[in-house]
Amino acid sequence: MMKARQLKKLCKKTAEILNFISCDIEDGVYHVWWEERGMDYCECDSQEAWLWLVDRFDSDVNTFLDADNEWGGMSWKPGSQSTASTPSNVFAWARNQANLTNL
């Protein structure tokens, strides 16, 4: 289990990479995505920025197209072929993404 202080530090660094204009360290740093409904945008959901980034990393790096998968063609890589979602791996991957906020 990660300590709250560690999570806040990781969230703050994630916010810097995502070019967030501002963040509230006291409440944690959140990535909020928006859903278009008609002419308006409304908040769809929010998640702590670090956890959101790890989810994006895992879905991009640790999955592959699998023609034999009946659930949409995506499968997780076997443990021996997957990349651990350590801060250094995730941040290195994130810096190489051209348009991370639209993932």
Distance (Å) of CA 52 to CA 15, 57, 90 = 11, 9, 11
pLDDT digits (tens, 9 = 90+) for 19-75: 775 555 444 556 555 566 666 655 555 667 788 889 889 989 998 888 777 776 788
pLDDT at position 91 is 92
- Which residue did the predictor score with more confidence, 72 or 93? 93
> What is the pTM assigned to this prediction?
0.71
d(CA 54, CA 14): 10
**Which residues fall within 8 angstroms of residue 79, CB to CB, at 6 or more apart?**
none
Beta strands in 1-103 (DSSP E): 30-37, 40-48, 63-65, 74-76
